[in-house]
Amino acid sequence: MYFNKNDISEITDVTAEELENAVNTLKEDNGLEGLGAYFIEAQNKYNINAIMLVAIACLESAYGTSKLAIEKNNLFGLRANDEYRDDPSKYGDYFSTKEDCIDYAGHKLRYQYLEEDEKAPWCYCNGETDIYSIGSIWCSNPEWGDYVVDLSTRLSKVIESERDSQIDYKSKYLKEKDKLDRIRAILNEDEIDTYNLEDEEEDEPSYEY
């Protein structure tokens, strides 16, 4: 897997293209196209795993197709509190672009959830870095962490499958076979040298004094 549910700050080596392909595989018509590079940028900037960041966005915005995502570029359900649900002007933060929202979410996770912010002490996870501790504060749904892990797993499997399909197994086999053939040749040469040495010792003339 390309994520650690017990530590969302453990980054991954996946690429922006792999992230977008994984999202497109899970949901063909989505609102996250072209954003892979921004998830990677947020990961590198805030040390928040890109796979999990994408998974949270997929969950909170229905793959970028929710009303908040479309009308307010809000991909993470930020400030979408239940008490504001009947007031569209208050329900959910507005972002000028989806890219800004991704950066804000990465910043919030790092500097309010993983690290303590005196302006938002209620967000701090008391040093815990697992997705479940974060979920207990992020969302009122107790299964939120499980949903994020499930999505992260599915995204990872798509990427892993794609990487496996790109491996040239025939070429890999031939290279390994060539290594083994060379080792066998070296071993055979050593046996021949040992054999010749033994023959020479046996053929040495015995001198009588």
CATH number at residue 68: 1.10.530.10
**At 99, is the secondary structure helix, strand, or coil?**
helix
Position 88 in a domain: yes
**At 140, is the secondary structure helix, strand, or coil?**
coil
Task: Say what percent of the chain tops pLDDT 90.
Answer: 74
Indicate whether 174 and 115 sit together in one domain.
Answer: no
Dist CA 102 CA 36 (whole Å)? 10
- Average pLDDT taken over every residue of the chain: 90
The 10 Å Cβ neighbour count of residue 176 is 10
The domain containing residue 35 runs over which residues?
Answer: 16-165
Which run of H or E residues covers position 172? helix 169-203
In this structure, is the dihedral angle defined by the CA atoms of residues 70, 63, 137 and 159, taken in order, positive or negative? negative
Indicate whether 78 and 178 sit together in one domain.
Answer: no
Indicate whether 138 and 197 sit together in one domain.
Answer: no
The model's pTM is: 0.79
Going from the C-alpha of 122 to that of each of 112, 114, 136, the distances in angstroms are 9, 12, 11
Q: Which two tokens stand for residue 69?
A: 């995502």
Q: In this predicted model, what pLDDT tens digit does every residue of 95-154 receive, in sequence order?
A: 999 999 999 999 999 999 999 999 999 999 999 999 999 999 999 999 999 999 999 999
Position 181 in a domain: yes
* Side-chain-facing half-sphere of 64: CA atoms under 13 Å: 21
**Residues 6+ away with beta carbon under 8 Å from 162:** 18, 21, 22
Indicate whether 159 and 180 sit together in one domain.
Answer: no
Indicate whether 47 and 111 sit together in one domain.
Answer: yes
Position 9 in a domain: no
Indicate whether 154 and 184 sit together in one domain.
Answer: no
Dist CA 122 CA 48 (whole Å)? 20
Position 150 in a domain: yes
pLDDT of residue 199: 57
Q: What's the domain count of the chain? A: 2
Indicate whether 156 and 55 sit together in one domain.
Answer: yes
In the structure, what pLDDT confidence band is assigned to residue 207 with cuts at 50, 70 and 90? very low
Q: In this predicted model, what pLDDT tens digit does every residue of 165-182 receive, in sequence order?
A: 986 555 656 667 777 878
Mean of pLDDT values over 42-57:
98
Position 10 in a domain: no
Indicate whether 115 and 189 sit together in one domain.
Answer: no
Dist CA 67 CA 57 (whole Å)? 13
Indicate whether 37 and 23 sit together in one domain.
Answer: yes
